Amino acid sequence: QVQLLQSGSEVKKPGSSLKVSCKASGGTFTSYTFTWVRQAPGHGLQWMGRIIPILNITNYAQNFQGRITIIADKSTATIYMELSSLRSEDTAVYYCARVRDGAGYVLDYWGQGALVTVSS
């Protein structure tokens, strides 16, 4: 049974940084690509970036270039997403998701989400 277990909710100050973790289990970690998607309250889904752990390749959405870093720890099958220079508009639920390459690169398993509130 594939599971993606994310770290918990956080409250952050504007200008600070965020680091969310996502531990994968139930599958072969290095066989997959992982992505981060966020959802602001009452809004839709916004793709942030992806990582291919076996190659250590990352790609980021243009909106987050320069502020986001995604890393993978193969020893613990954990993905991390760091977002810096936080502002109130970054208040959102942050999801990690696994990519199924053979199915049109869909997101077939998702973490439970981590609510991040940016407030002074």
Partner 1 sequence: DIQMTQSPSTLSASVGDRVTITCRASQSFTNWVAWYQQKPGKAPNLLIYKASTLESGVPSRFSGSGSGTEFTLTISSLQPDDFATYFCQHYDSVSPTWTFGQGTKVEVK
User: Which parts of this chain interact with partner 1 (CB under 8 A)?
Assistant: 35, 37, 44-47, 50, 59, 61-62, 95, 97, 100, 103-108, 110-113
Our CB check for partner 1 shows the closer of 14 and 45 to be: 45
- Calpha distance 8→10 (Å, rounded): 7
Contact 8, 111 (CB under 8 A): no
Q: SS3 of 59, please?
A: strand
Our CB check for partner 1 shows the closer of 11 and 106 to be: 106
Q: How far is the CB of 26 from partner 1 (least distance, A)?
A: 15
Q: How far is the CB of 75 from partner 1 (least distance, A)?
A: 26
Contact 100, 36 (CB under 8 A): no
Which DSSP letter does residue 27 get?
A: S
Our CB check for partner 1 shows the closer of 13 and 105 to be: 105
Give the C-alpha distances (Å, rounded to integers) separating 70 from 4, 24, 76.
16, 15, 15
Q: How far is the CB of 97 from partner 1 (least distance, A)?
A: 8
Residue 58's identity, in one-letter code, is: T
Our CB check for partner 1 shows the closer of 66 and 75 to be: 66
Q: How far is the CB of 16 from partner 1 (least distance, A)?
A: 25
